Amino acid sequence: MESSSAATVSAVPSPGPTPADLLRRLRARGAADPVTHVERVPARPGVPAPWPSWAPPELRAAFARRGVVAPWQHQAQAATLAYEGEHVVVATGTASGKSLAYQLPALATLLADPRATVLYLAPTKALAADQLRAVAALELEGVRPACYDGDTPRAEREWIRRHSRFVLTNPDMLHHGVLPGHAQWSGFLRRLAYVVIDECHTYRGVFGSHVAHVLRRLRRQCARFGSTPVFVLASATSGDPSTTAGRLTGLPVTAVTEDASPRGGVTFALWEPPLLPPDSGPSTPVPPQSTGDHDDLQQIRRSALRETADLLADTVAEGVRTLAFVRSRKGAEVVAANARRALDDAVPGLGDRVAAYRGGYLREERRELERALLHGDLLGLASTNALELGVDLVGLDAVLICGYPGTRASLWQQAGRAGRSGQEALAVLVARDDPLDTYLVHHPEAIFGAPVEATVLDPANPYVLAPQLACAAFEAPLTPADLALFGDGAKEAVDQLVAAGALRQRPTGWYWRHRERPEVDLRGEGGAPVCVVESSTGRLLGTVDGGSSHFLLHSGAVYLHQGVSYVVDDLDLVDGCALVHAEEPDWSTHARDVTDLSVVSVRSYVDAGPVGMFLGEVDVTSQVVSYQRRRIATGEVIDTRPLDLPARKLRTVAVWFTLSPQSLTLAGVQPADVPGALHAAEHAAIGLLPLMATCDRWDIGGLSTAVHQDTEAPTVFVYDGHPGGAGFAERAYGTASAWLRATRDAIAECGCESGCPSCVQSPKCGNGNNPLSKPDAIRVLDVVLANLPG
Ligand SMILES: [Zn+2]
Ligand SMILES: [Zn+2]
């Protein structure tokens, strides 16, 4: 989301402490200094550029009326490349004004050629509506911008197809509406000059792979109608945006990454909550699904939630306007409640100046909240990042980020809320008990240096390619030339569709055989979603993707929905429905599974003496067999109950490494400790993969074994949790030494003695985190790194 013109309200008169003073006071509280690094991100003046000579005076005047006197350099550079016909991706920071980079060439072209058209794609309807307002506000004659999505009334659709020259939509609508109905769009597509893809980093994994083919289908239709539009993409900063944009569009794309917009200075502190004294007993944790914290694991570090609550109370007590970002609603409520309590203990009534922001507020309520915070009636707010999408808040004095939000783009988006115009602000990242967070607070270069995390997608995934080719064939028969457009694996996928009776081969190409069009859901993952229904009322609470349903919705599972606790009475796999009732037991549930993995084929490998590194297809069979009930307050296991759920098979892509038993013995790993060493290395490696690729550790699975039947050696597998793979394992293979180096460092640098959630324990382990050997995991990774080339 871009908001290049967010209003900065500075109605609070008192200047408050400087960020450096404030940080000094915060870190002086405890015995040990929790700050691992302080980065001064200096203020940066903007570098303006002259309007490109091709930008018509009419357009310059329109922008000037909206307060844009001149573009920043990166905007002008990207705009000119696009105007000259190059496909371009602009990958710069939050609020750097990426929209001008595509509006400028697109609108200049619409003004110069009264027939030309532009198609704009956003990942959400809300963003498209936002952009519609921005383009409409320019009041350019003859452009007639319009949103075309599921909400567009039928009556308006035809008018838009005929008369709008700037259509804003989303990939789902392109897939379900525009492309299958291309005949009605022929006039628009024939004259299509630009395709704008906003927030293109959101097209990742399986969804991103589908979108990549939707774009190829669009290019094919354009070519049939004789147009070759220029693609302009906008992305958050990430590693290698040119390659990612190229994969997404199938075209060579030039990247513009030098951000020339101005920004305020920020003092950015990395904060690691202290280890608890050994005899202090467990702190009071909160259920894991609701907060992202892991109550089932032995807590040896003070929780990020408690630490954030204390920091929020301290900054509010200093009169500093502070926003705390927490990953879940429940977590945000816990942080606000604890901060309020601490403030009321100090000064009764002061707690009223802290609130929790729970998404789903009405627009007026959100505006009221903004007003209260900007005017200082409210000093502290704890929020999920829902706020990123709903509330326009800038110019805060401090931002607390409870747990790494998953990507650098989100991190900077959150930190970017700090800083009134011209004034320094404080941002604090509070590490959670998690290998990635631990690594980051000890490796500031991974946050402040050049980005390494890339947006990955895999258009060659056969589970995506085949249904997309079916859609393409429905739209127009496939020709041999089309196969090149759809890339690697297209011929095989077409052959399979012919064998399955979906396509018929004729001398002129491949034809879709059915009347109805293929049903393909761009966002469908791991089978049909399972509905969660409240038995007493029949109310649909939500859906859970098929892949997670056995874990989260088995009979007896405690299921949290928007902070309310339910217990599952029955999971009906045939109907795809789980019946639940509201109940708040004092235990949480944790499913256990057994997993079996076999190697189907090897795509690529590195033979490094005693070590082998592989990428290939695997079959993973897993079955949820039982669940534990554990006391929320203590983590004590109450009992383990069996479950009767069918095994599920997943054909996917994995990366794996093998080591010779001799090399392990030489490194000092006793044979009895090999399983624990590999298992610990596997957990940490999964935890660190999001450093290299934008994925969640829940997108990935792992398996380790002292002898695997297919590799005949000690082996660690890490696989994509989506049928056909989503690109994560491939990225892991491509960056293996950097990835495993970071994994090794995260384990070695953790201050715990024998393993904790910050290093080798995993919240989703199917084996209850047993066995695990932290020191031997380091030895295993040292052997791999010593042998693996660069
Ligand atoms: Zn540890
Ligand atoms: Zn495990």
What residue ranges in 610-647 does DSSP mark as E strands?
611-631, 637-642
CA of 268 to the centre of ligand 1 (A): 24
What ranges make up the beta strands (E) of 290-412?
322-326, 354-357, 380-383, 398-402
As given in the structure block, the two tokens for residue 633 are: 């307050």
Mean pLDDT of 130-159: 94
Cα of 363 vs its chain's centroid, Å: 26
Q: Return the minimum-mean-pLDDT range out of 1-10, 209-218, 625-634, 744-753.
A: 1-10
Q: Which ligand is nearest to the CA of 435?
A: 1
Which ligand is closest in space to the CA of residue 594?
2
Mean pLDDT within 298-304: 76
Record the tokens describing residue 513, joined without a space. Answer: 């055989």
Contact 772, 755 (CB under 8 A): yes
Q: Ligand 1 centroid vs 747 CA: distance in angstroms?
A: 7
Can you tell me the distance from the alpha carbon of 436 to that of 443, in angstroms, rounded to the nearest whole number?
A: 10
Question: Nearest bound ligand to CA 757?
Answer: 1
Enumerate residues with CB within 5 Å of ligand 1 (an ion): 750, 752, 756, 758-759
More confident residue, 666 or 530: 666
Answer whether residue 3 shows pLDDT above 50.
no
- Other Cβ atoms less than 10 A from the Cβ of 499: the count is 9
- The residues with which 40 forms a beta bridge, in sequence order, are 267
pLDDT at 372: 86
Tens digit of pLDDT for each residue in 581-612?
A: 998 888 888 888 889 999 999 999 999 999 99
CA separation for the pair 337, 326 (Å, rounded) = 13
Residue 275: DSSP 8-state: B
With beta carbons less than 8 A apart as the criterion, state whether 434 and 357 touch.
no
Distance of CA 582 to CAs 103, 445, 534, 548, 766, Å?
50, 46, 8, 21, 27
780: CA distance to ligand 1 center in Å?
17
Q: CA distances (Å), 73 to each of 93, 199, 324, in order?
A: 14, 20, 33
Q: How far is the CA of 738 from the centre of ligand 2 (A)?
A: 22
Closest ligand (CA of 771): 2
Q: What is the DSSP letter of 713?
A: S
Query: Rounded to 5, what percent of the chain is helix, strand, coil?
Result: 40, 25, 40
pLDDT in tens, 169-199: 999 999 999 999 999 999 999 999 999 999 9
Q: 442: CA distance to ligand 1 center in Å?
A: 13
Question: Within a 10 A sphere around the Cβ of 375, how many other Cβ atoms?
Answer: 12
Has residue 329 got a pLDDT over 60? Answer: yes
Torsion of CA 532, 535, 539, 544, to 10 degrees: 0
Q: How far apart are alpha carbons 316 and 294 in whole angstroms?
A: 28
Q: What is the pLDDT of residue 762?
A: 85
Q: What is the pLDDT of residue 395?
A: 66
Instruction: Quote the tokens at residue 356.
Output: 């929790």
- C-alpha closest to that of 571 among 600, 619, 611, 531: 531
> Region 210-227: what's the mean pLDDT?
97
Q: Separation of 718 CA from ligand 1 center, angstroms?
A: 21
Average pLDDT over residues 315-341: 87
Q: What DSSP character marks residue 44?
A: B
Q: CA torsion 662→666→672→678, rounded to 10°?
A: -80
Instruction: Write down the pLDDT at residue 524.
Output: 62
Question: How far does the centroid of ligand 2 lie from the alpha carbon of residue 193, in Å?
Answer: 51
- Of the two residues 633 and 485, the one the predictor is more confident about is 485
Confidence of residue 218 (pLDDT cuts 50, 70, 90): very high
Look at residue 94 and tell me whether its pLDDT is greater than 80: no
755 alpha carbon, closest ligand: 1
Lowest mean per-residue pLDDT among 151-165, 271-285, 572-586, 725-739: 271-285
Q: How far apart are CA 267 and CA 20, in angstroms?
A: 7
Q: How far is the CA of 754 from the centre of ligand 1 (A)?
A: 7
Predicted confidence (pLDDT) at residue 732 exceeds the cutoff of 50: yes
- Is residue 343 exposed (0-12), middle (13-18) or buried (19+ Cβ within 10 Å)? buried
Spatial separation of the C-alpha atoms in residues 758 and 147, rounded to whole Å = 46
Spacing, Cα 453 to ligand 1 middle (Å):
24
- The two tokens of residue 254 are 């030039």
Using the mean position of ligand 2's atoms as its centre, give its distance from the Cα of residue 154 in Å: 52
Bridge-based pairing of strands 166-169 and 88-91 is: unpaired
- Which ligand is the nearest neighbour of the Cα of 777? 1
561: its two tokens: 């929905």
C-alpha of residue 275 to centroid of ligand 1, in Å = 10
Q: What is the DSSP letter of 72?
A: B
Cα of 438 from ligand 1 centre, angstroms: 9
Measured between alpha carbons, how far is 92 from 409 in angstroms, rounded to an integer? 10
Greatest Cα pair distance in the chain? 84
Average pLDDT, the chain: 88
Could you report how far apart the first and last alpha carbons of the chain are, in Å?
38
Q: Which residues touch 467 (CB under 8 Å, ≥6 apart)?
A: 518, 520
- Tell me, letter by letter, the H, E, C secondary structure of 469-494: HHHHHHHCCECHHHHHHHCCCHHHHH
Q: How far is the CA of 757 from the centre of ligand 1 (A)?
A: 6
Mean pLDDT of 351-360: 80
Q: What is the mean pLDDT of residues 483-504?
A: 94
Q: Is the pTM of this model over 0.85?
A: no
Ligand nearest to C-alpha 754: 1
Asked if 34 and 273 count as a contact pair (C-beta separation under 8 A), the reply is yes
Q: Ligand 2 centre and the CA of 679: distance in Å? A: 6
- For 478-610, strand residue ranges (E) read 503-506, 509-512, 530-534, 540-544, 558-561, 564-572, 577-582, 587-608
Q: Report the separation in Å between the CA atom of 686 and the middle of ligand 2, taken as the mean of its atom positions.
A: 10
3-class state of residue 653 by DSSP: strand
Cα distances from 328 to residues 41, 82, 199, 634, in angstroms, run 28, 40, 23, 22
Q: Are strands 145-147 and 166-169 parallel, antiparallel or unpaired?
A: parallel
Of the two residues 88 and 650, the one the predictor is more confident about is 88
Instruction: Pick the most confident of 11-25, 413-427, 490-504.
Output: 490-504
Q: How far apart are CA 100 and CA 98, in angstroms?
A: 5
CA of 702 to the centre of ligand 2 (A): 8
Q: How far is the CA of 682 from the centre of ligand 2 (A)?
A: 8
Ligand index nearest the alpha carbon of residue 675: 2
Residue 438: nearest ligand to its CA?
Answer: 1
Residue 646 in this model has a pLDDT that exceeds 60:
yes
pLDDT for the residue 693: 86
The residue type found at 540 is L
Q: What would the pLDDT profile of 524-536 be if each residue is shown by its tens digit? A: 655 667 888 999 9
DSSP 525: -
Q: What separation in angstroms does the CA of 216 have from each of 57, 168, 220, 471, 474?
A: 35, 18, 6, 11, 14
**Mean pLDDT (whole number) for 630-651:** 84
Q: Which ligand is nearest to the CA of 770?
A: 2
Residue 563 predicted with pLDDT over 70? no
Contacts of 345 (CB under 8 A, 6+ apart): none
What is the 762 CA–ligand 2 centroid distance (Å)? 6
pLDDT of 282 > 50? The answer is: no
**pLDDT at 7 (0 to 100):** 33
Task: Give pLDDT tens digits for 366-377.
Answer: 778 778 887 888
**What would the two tokens of residue 581 be?**
């009732």
Tell me the pLDDT band of 5, cut-offs 50, 70 and 90: very low
pLDDT at 287: 36
Which ligand is closest in space to the CA of residue 772?
Answer: 2
Q: Which ligand is nearest to the CA of 718?
A: 2
Provide the residue type at 294 as one letter. Answer: H
Ligand 1 geometric centre to CA of 281 (Å): 17
Cβ within 8 Å of residue 61, ≥6 positions away: none
| Whole-Å CA distances, 641 to 57, 556, 580, 622, 766 | 73, 9, 18, 18, 14
pLDDT higher at 488 or 115: 115
Share of the chain above pLDDT 90, in %: 60
Q: DSSP class of residue 284?
A: -
Cβ–Cβ under 8 Å, residues 11 and 375: yes
| Ligand that comes closest to the CA of residue 593 | 2
**Mean per-residue pLDDT, 107-115:** 96
Query: What's the CA-to-centroid distance between 624 and ligand 2, angstroms?
Result: 14
Percent of the chain with pLDDT over 70: 91
Centre of ligand 2 from the C-alpha of residue 765, in Å: 4
Whole-number Å distance, alpha carbon 518 to ligand 1 midpoint, is 49
Phi, psi of 16 (to 5 degrees): 70, 180
Q: What's the per-residue H, E or C state across 106-152?
A: HHHHHHHCCCCEEEEECCCHHHHHHHHHHHHHCCCCCCCEEECCCCC
Rounded to the nearest whole angstrom, what is the distance from the C-alpha of residue 758 to the centroid of ligand 1?
5
- Given a cut of 70, whether residue 420 has pLDDT beyond it is no
What one-character DSSP code corresponds to residue 201? G
For residues 417-430, average pLDDT: 81
| pLDDT tens digits, one per residue of 529-561 | 788 899 999 888 877 777 778 888 999 998 876
The confidence score (pLDDT) of residue 360 equals 54
Closest ligand, as measured to the CA of 431: 1
CA 276 to ligand 1 center in whole angstroms = 12
Choose among 505, 516, 441, 536: nearest CA to 471: 516
